[in-house]
Structure 1
Amino acid sequence: MNKVLTLTAAALLATSGLAIAQDSVIVEVPQRTRDYVIAHPADPVVIEGELSRGYVVPRNIVVRPIPESPGYGYIYVDGRPVIVSMDNRQVVYLDEPSGGVPDEVITYVERNPVDAVIVDGPVDAGTVIPEDVPLVAVPDQPRYSYVYLDNGRPALVDNGTRRVVWVR
């Protein structure tokens, strides 16, 4: 009976896209690989369940190759880049959402609206703001700038990546 339960559990895990490793290995993805993925966003894919390092991307999802890093490919999920090992389709890097934005930064952005800018397509957390869109600095917060979108929504942007980390 235990064998049947073990086999059933293994089959469920295999079809869910989850990977459980006995030895957790952290893969350090080269910065140039991460830069390529950020510079070449892809259409988003839908992943069922919790996405984390070690998750095995299902075979029905197309993983885009990274020319300069043949061992890696990538997808975008919820506007975030996800880098995958081409050997086993396991997630080795994902751009974690920037939770923990200080409340005073959001308060400042909401109390200091600026002229609206137009950005093509929907803007959500994870969207990269194009270089030609001017950003407004948040005083005393060198990490952040912001914009107001044409629909009146403020968006907080990480200065290092130009990626939206919060949007109302």
Structure 2
Amino acid sequence: MKKLVISAVSLFLSLGGVAVAQTTTVTVPGEVRTYVIEQQTPSVTFEGDVAIGTALPDTVEIHTVPDQPDYGYVVVNKKRVLVNPKTRAVIEVIE
């Protein structure tokens, strides 16, 4: 029984390392970041953490970035946030 527990823990720890190794970083073009920073968009309130990967609810309006269909943005809790408009997932928190 002890061997089984140790094996399960070892497997769990090794899979955790694999998951970390597979995380990807999205490189946002500088012109997208500049555009979002320059916009005068009112902030919306969001309960909870606004972190990379967080999916924003349908009640949050995502603004488009001209000529950049893969990027949207919203100002949440006074922070500018880049969002994938298809999945509504946060890509980057700018400020």
TM tier, smaller: 0.7 to 0.9
Which residue pairs with 1:156 in the alignment?
82
Which residue pairs with 1:167 in the alignment?
93
Q: Which runs of 5+ in 1 are unaligned?
A: 1-10, 20-46, 56-93
Local SS of the residue matching 2:14? coil
Which residue pairs with 1:145 in the alignment?
72
Change (3 A) 1:123 1:141: same
Q: 1:12-91 to 2 correspondence within 5 Å?
A: 14=10, 17-18=13-14, 50-52=17-19
RMSD across aligned positions (CA): 2.7
Local SS of the residue matching 1:107? helix
Local SS of the residue matching 1:109? helix
Shift in Å, 1:153: 1.0
What is the TM-score with the length of structure 2 in the denominator? Answer: 0.75
Contact 1:113/1:154 (<8 A) preserved: no
Change (3 A) 1:143 1:15: closer
**Cα distance in structure 2, aligned partners of 1:113 and 1:97:** 30
What is the TM-score with the length of structure 1 in the denominator? Answer: 0.45
Task: Name the structure with the higher helix share.
Answer: 2
**Cα distance in structure 2, aligned partners of 1:135 and 1:98:** 21
What's the CA shift string for 1:81-133, capped at 9, x where partnerless?
xxxxxxxxxxxxx7x44421111111111111301011111101111010011
- 1:114 has 2:41 as partner: yes
Q: Whose radius of gyration is greater, 1 or 2?
A: 1
Local SS of the residue matching 2:31? helix
Q: Which runs of 5+ in 2 are unaligned?
A: 1-6
Number of aligned positions between the proteins? 87
More contact order relative to length (CA 8 Å, sep ≥ 6): 2
**Cα distance in structure 1, aligned partners of 2:45 and 2:89:** 16
